[in-house]
Structure 1
Amino acid sequence: MLRFLTVIQPSGHRASGLLLARGPARFVCAVLLCVGFDGLFGQEVVGESAAPNIVVILADDMGYGDIQALNNKSTIPTPNLNGLAKDGMTFLDAHSPSAVCTPTRYGLLTGRYCWRGQLKKGVLGGYSKPLLEDGRPTIANLLKDNGYNTGAVGKWHLGMQMPLKSDEANTSVWQGDPGIDFEGVITNSPVHHGFDSYFGVSASLDMAPYVYVRNDRFTMPPSIQQAAKPFPHFIRKGPRSEDFVMADVLDKLTQEAVAFIKKSSQEQKPYFLYMPLTGPHKPALPHDRFRGTTKLKEYGDFVHQVDWTVGEVLKAIDATEAADNTLVIFTSDNGSYMRRFDDPDQKDHVDDTKVQGYKAAHHTANGVLRGTKADIWEAGHRVPFFARWPANTAAGSRTDATTCLTDIYATCAAIVGAEIADNAAEDSASLLDILNGKSHDRGAPVIHHSVAGMFAIRDGRWKLVAGNGSGGREAPKGQPFGKPYQLFDLKAELAESNDVAADHPELVQSLATRLQKLIDAGRSVQRQ
């Protein structure tokens, strides 16, 4: 576990350092930031503060252009997220490891790209079996081993081993009830992957079952059959418990998160809270008190409610008087599902062009970025990312470093002074030096991945798409590794409207070779 140390030098000036204590023997070493070893002896220790609390809030399908701090054309009120940007660091070039939710959650929690495991494309359902491998460490395992209370509140969507009435139950279904014993014990849930406590839902808010889970049990057996509904209130049919009201879910998660913060702040341990939200993912069902607040129908109102939710969590942190020593990260699992352009050929259950109030003329949820959620283009995976840590990160700072949500794992490890095993967090680079203002370089390329399994590699200004389309929802969808590949200069323009592959054949070949090497190597970040 890490502790910050303040000492008095002979001159009377204060100097700060890090005191690292790890393992049962509590091996201690001092890493001085402002004074050398020869200047430490004989100096008086005047203050010590605990390792920082860490809170990660993960929105569900919030686009880069939804937040006013990133898109000055957005009319959706996002005062709390704007404040988070003002009080901390804005990452202008942050990316989810996938353009859809399940693989991003895997990557965030493990520091490893999901496609290196069994899930090569697509996402899980609400009844799916666990995706996290036995023995694969998560951030929760890492921090728990280093003295943290660990809690998760929200959407899991990484599969659970649910109690079944029959061995023949088909848990691959996304709706209905395959035969779950809702009175039984869940034998693989977040509390089996490093979290001391969990409250939330098994998957997306449009996927059955519509029943809350607390730790390893369902809170109430379902007694209602939820009917299927179309967009923008899209939802699949399935069992729902009486206490599960769609429009109340975000409020319930907020209450649970605030309670966790209050309880944890009273204990003599730092805490880690992972809070994956259920909005603004469909169904777009904001609470009544937010309806009509944005003039952008349910989607805009739902984004507004997500901002309010973040504000309530920040208030709870501030009320504990530990805000200065709390790292708060807000980001999203992928881009927004709302389309930027009217396209009559695109017809599916998230076709926003048919719903008044959602057209590009009213709001661009992904800003100037091309595509939507699921695509290999920037709108699929370039996400909002704000970090507030007053004790270490300058207020109002910004970085254009290309980063990935897999980096949160190595960042937490660096904060607590923990070593990362060779077979863990293979795609995670620490952002601690970036947060401290010492660097603007992650030190390794970022690999992007679409819902259909299309790859891209980002290195500096250049982005090579190893395929001939979006790899997701937008036309042309193309094929993974289909030719010709696409090359974009993102320093020249973010909209990816100008494919320059034909002008740079040697660069295309070089990046393609590098991408394949990183795929084959089993890791993309080297440990020193």
Structure 2
Amino acid sequence: MVYILADDLGYGDLGCLNPKSRIPTPHANRLAASGMTFTDAHSPSAVCTPTRYGVVTGRYAWRTRLKSGVLNGYSGHLIDPNRMTVASLLKANGYRTGVVGKWHLGLDFARPQGNPKEFDYARPVENSPNRYGFDYSYVIPASLDFPPYVYVEDGKVTELPTARQDAWKFPAFIRAGERAPGFKPIETLDVLLGKANAFIAREAKGAQPFFLYFALTTPHKPVLPAKRFQGKSRLGPYGDFLMQVDWTVGQVVRTLEEAGVRDNTLLILTSDNGSFMFRLNETDEDHVANPGVQGYRASSHTSAHVFRGTKADIYEGGHHIPYIVSWPARVKAGTTCEETICLADLMATCAALVGATLPDDAGEDSFNTLPLMLGNDWETPRAPVVHHSANGTFAVRDGKWKLVLSTGSGGREKPVGKPGSTPYRLFDMAADISETTDLAAAHPEIVQRLTRVLEGLQKTGRSR
């Protein structure tokens, strides 16, 4: 099993989901044609860290200490070391497990004795992914715009951060901080791809099945496409970067084919949240004419497709993400699924794959999507999906109804609003996927019901 989690990849960034896109994504398109596309998939959060927590644990991150925002590269661990993860579940059931890419869940860098304000990078980190069930790990601490800029392999920093990274402006936005001399942000995606492919090639030769969690650093900032892709899209660096992301997916597929395991490998391509690229007015200068502009006119490109908002927002543009499943041996090619799912569902799905039963204290918000992949209905109907924005704003989705428990976006779109501010807003997602018309006043009974539903999910500590 290979799980590719892109970073800030919008629903409209792939041609197979956005027919109007002019950015070539042939590899993702072929992947979709070979399997099933889920058209109503959602990340557990509209930003990075909480989504990754949900993917790895099957539990909403707002149940932890992280009530809003994200961790940084120096943060302590978010996952309780005693908590079951997707990796520990699969490892216990005979899988070899690996993670390559962006971790962003806290590593706990060692500190010199008596000096809690400094870090000792020569010592192993205290909470590497290996502690959570991964046999192999090669990661960067957080997003590629957060220091320290180092690679961490099996808990050890591969090169000490003795250099200094200057701050850069968008599109190559990056924060100033410590950097290993050999760490070059423009090369990071290729470095990680090499490690991912090596893991696949190595494990495919063994007798055990394997699981690879490949967490891309892209197309998140810094937008730094490799030289061989620069100028190829004619839609600015972001378009070029998307072409590199797509090529990277294609290289993983190629490695699986060369290893002779493509047909029997469940491959999932998805994203941790929506894109950060704004939708601009047609009279505005956009990213095509000026790469320093963080947005497109709709006539150039729509990263959020027809959705409202962007990454960080409680609106669909923040959390309605691509989700493509390809498994030639079992998933019918060219199919779609319109059921509402969440990335937290990976845990229960993996449990079903190996015939395991999740204990009560694991995967509390995870539901088995394997029947959907195989063209059937839910085995256990999914509870309403809870959405969460950058500032901690909640929304709850039940069938066609979505209740936003705030007066604002909770992220980047103005007004931002405060979590829990009233009046709440209600949208009919079947008739109004762009969330243009608030129906709360017309359906107060639905507002009351969904408010109670969310309160129940919060108080019980679980969805299943």
How would you bin the TM-score normalised by the shorter chain? over 0.9
Amino acid at match of 2:120: D
Q: 1:266 aligns with which of 194, 205, 209?
A: 205
Cα contact 2:3–2:269 (8 A) shared by 1: yes
Partner in structure 2 of residue 103 of structure 1: 50
Give the Å deviation of 1:148: 0.4
| TM-score when normalising by structure 1 | 0.85
Q: Deviations over 1:424-457 (max 9, x none)?
A: 1000000010011011685221000001111111
Amino acid at match of 1:157: H
Is structure 2 residue 190 aligned with structure 1 residue 251?
yes
Partner in structure 2 of residue 78 of structure 1: 25
- In structure 2, the residue corresponding to 1:239 is in which secondary structure? strand
Cα contact 2:171–2:292 (8 A) shared by 1: no
Aligned counterparts of 2:172 and 2:34: Cα–Cα separation in 1:
35
Is structure 2 residue 7 aligned with structure 1 residue 60?
yes
Change in 2 beyond 3 A, CA 1:267/1:354: closer
Aligned counterparts of 1:356 and 1:239: Cα–Cα separation in 2:
26
Q: Deviations over 1:182-215 (max 9, x none)?
A: 2111121101110001112010000001111111
Aligned counterparts of 2:293 and 2:453: Cα–Cα separation in 1:
43
Partner in structure 2 of residue 323 of structure 1: 262
Aligned counterparts of 2:441 and 2:244: Cα–Cα separation in 1:
45
Aligned counterparts of 2:329 and 2:294: Cα–Cα separation in 1:
46
Mapping 1:180-329, distance limit 5 Å: 180-329=119-268
Give the Å deviation of 1:358: 3.5
Aligned counterparts of 1:353 and 1:377: Cα–Cα separation in 2:
26
Q: 2:402 aligns with which of 463, 478, 486?
A: 463
Amino acid at match of 2:257: D
Aligned counterparts of 2:314 and 2:282: Cα–Cα separation in 1:
19
Give the Å deviation of 1:323: 1.4
Amino acid at match of 2:305: G
Is structure 2 residue 25 aligned with structure 1 residue 87?
no
Is structure 2 residue 320 aligned with structure 1 residue 373?
no
Aligned counterparts of 1:341 and 1:312: Cα–Cα separation in 2:
33
Amino acid at match of 1:94: A
Q: Which stretch shows the higher mean deviation, 181-190 or 145-154? A: 181-190
- In structure 1, the residue corresponding to 2:348 is in which secondary structure? helix
Tell me the number of residue pairs that the alignment of Structure 1 and Structure 2 aligns: 458
Change in 2 beyond 3 A, CA 1:410/1:152: same
Give the Å deviation of 1:167: 4.9
Is structure 2 residue 451 aligned with structure 1 residue 504?
no
Aligned counterparts of 2:295 and 2:56: Cα–Cα separation in 1:
36
Aligned counterparts of 2:155 and 2:447: Cα–Cα separation in 1:
49
Q: Deviations over 1:459-486 (max 9, x none)?
A: 1111001111101111111111110101
Mapping 1:470-509, distance limit 5 Å: 470-509=409-448
Aligned counterparts of 2:321 and 2:114: Cα–Cα separation in 1:
40
Q: Deviations over 1:37-59 (max 9, x none)?
A: xxxxxxxxxxxxxxxxx110000
- In structure 1, the residue corresponding to 2:427 is in which secondary structure? strand
Partner in structure 2 of residue 32 of structure 1: none
Change in 2 beyond 3 A, CA 1:395/1:118: same
Partner in structure 1 of residue 353 of structure 2: 415
| TM-score when normalising by structure 2 | 0.96
Partner in structure 2 of residue 146 of structure 1: 93
Cα contact 1:120–1:453 (8 A) shared by 2: yes
Amino acid at match of 1:238: G
Give the Å deviation of 1:232: 1.2
Change in 2 beyond 3 A, CA 1:353/1:267: closer
Change in 2 beyond 3 A, CA 1:488/1:189: same
Give the Å deviation of 1:241: 1.2
Cα contact 1:339–1:353 (8 A) shared by 2: no
Partner in structure 2 of residue 438 of structure 1: 376
Structure with greater contact order relative to length (CA < 8 Å, sep ≥ 6): 2
Aligned counterparts of 1:142 and 1:443: Cα–Cα separation in 2:
21
Aligned counterparts of 1:403 and 1:195: Cα–Cα separation in 2:
25
Aligned counterparts of 2:196 and 2:453: Cα–Cα separation in 1:
42
Amino acid at match of 1:122: G
Give the Å deviation of 1:516: 0.7
Cα contact 1:353–1:359 (8 A) shared by 2: no
Aligned counterparts of 2:269 and 2:116: Cα–Cα separation in 1:
37
Change in 2 beyond 3 A, CA 1:357/1:419: closer
Amino acid at match of 2:60: Y
Give the Å deviation of 1:354: 6.0
Bigger Cα Rg: 1
Amino acid at match of 1:494: I
What is the Cα-based RMSD across aligned positions, in Å? 1.7
Give the Å deviation of 1:169: 3.5
Change in 2 beyond 3 A, CA 1:374/1:166: farther
Q: 2:59 aligns with which of 112, 128, 131?
A: 112
Q: 2:103 aligns with which of 141, 156, 164?
A: 156
Q: Which structure 1 residue ranges, 4+ long, deviate > 4 Å from structure 2? A: none
Partner in structure 2 of residue 398 of structure 1: 336
Q: Deviations over 1:386-419 (max 9, x none)?
A: 0011121100110000000000110000000011
Change in 2 beyond 3 A, CA 1:371/1:157: same
Give the Å deviation of 1:216: 1.0
Q: Deviations over 1:330-357 (max 9, x none)?
A: 100000000113499xxxxxxx996287
Cα contact 1:64–1:366 (8 A) shared by 2: yes
Aligned counterparts of 2:296 and 2:310: Cα–Cα separation in 1:
14
Q: Deviations over 1:270-307 (max 9, x none)?
A: 00000100000000001000000111111111111010
- In structure 2, the residue corresponding to 1:358 is in which secondary structure? strand
Aligned counterparts of 1:312 and 1:374: Cα–Cα separation in 2:
30
Amino acid at match of 1:374: A
- In structure 1, the residue corresponding to 2:9 is in which secondary structure? coil
Give the Å deviation of 1:322: 1.5
